[in-house]
Amino acid sequence: MTNRIAETSPLVYARVAGGLWLILAIFGGFAFVSVSSLLVPGEAAATVSNIMASESLFRIAILSDLFSQTVFIVLVLVLYKLLKPVNNFAALLMVVFVIVSVSLQSISALNQIAVLFLLSGADYLRAFPTDQLPALVLLFLNMREAGFEIIAQIYFGLWLLPLGYLVYKSGFLPRILAVLLIIAGFGYLISVVTFFLFPNFDTDISQFTFIGEVTMLLWLLIKGVNVEKWEKRALESA
């Protein structure tokens, strides 16, 4: 009986979610920073040179990105298990947004894989003039970046809104976390609007919204949830 309680304890779900979120942040951040370090804005030849000189890093970054997307799916499923006693519909909506985000980001990663094909030196690439290949590489990398700016930030912003709502209504997690998560969600969405309407605007608003995500991550990992209040919500929703 004790083992069953331990296995189904909301503290287990909370700490697993916190650990998965940390893994997501590490691998996703590594992928983003690694690829960004190889890019030279507007300089196709220099970018190609950097990628060819650090091809292993570029390949590892792609794998790291895809791995982080897999972790993201597992994370949201654990959060669903933790938060569905609050509101099942909102919890399902959170899962849907993440699955759409992961699907589209994984497809967008094909742009980086296309770069590997372009730089492979395969015979069929002789159909392209040599001086066009760097331009094509930069085009695909820009498409990947645009995919991140549009796809990732739209759905990453959207999934944080039902998450914030669930945390706010839960009673077993601090409401300040919910406020920070909702601010983060709107921050991502505002960044998308800025990307389209104000393309020369240098400041990325979403870079200031990470506080909510990091705070939630650490709270789940370290503090967990109020078990008594979670059990009360679970009984009410049963």
Q: What pLDDT, on a 0 to 100 scale, did the predictor assign at position 5?
A: 40
pLDDT digits (tens, 9 = 90+) for 140-191: 998 888 777 777 778 888 999 999 999 999 999 999 999 999 999 998 888 8
Half-sphere exposure (Cβ direction) of 120: Cα atoms closer than 13 Å = 12
pLDDT digits (tens, 9 = 90+) for 118-130: 988 888 888 888 7
Q: What pLDDT, on a 0 to 100 scale, did the predictor assign at position 173?
A: 96
| Number of C-beta neighbours around residue 207 at 10 A | 9
Q: Is the pLDDT of residue 2 over 50?
A: no
pLDDT digits (tens, 9 = 90+) for 30-64: 998 999 899 888 888 999 999 999 999 999 999 99
DSSP state of 153: H
pTM (two decimals)? 0.89
Q: Which residue has the higher pLDDT, 8 or 173?
A: 173
Q: What pLDDT, on a 0 to 100 scale, did the predictor assign at position 61?
A: 95
Per-domain residue ranges for the chain? Answer: 2-237
Q: What pLDDT, on a 0 to 100 scale, did the predictor assign at position 69?
A: 93
At a CB cut-off of 8 Å and minimum separation 6, what does 70 contact?
A: 102
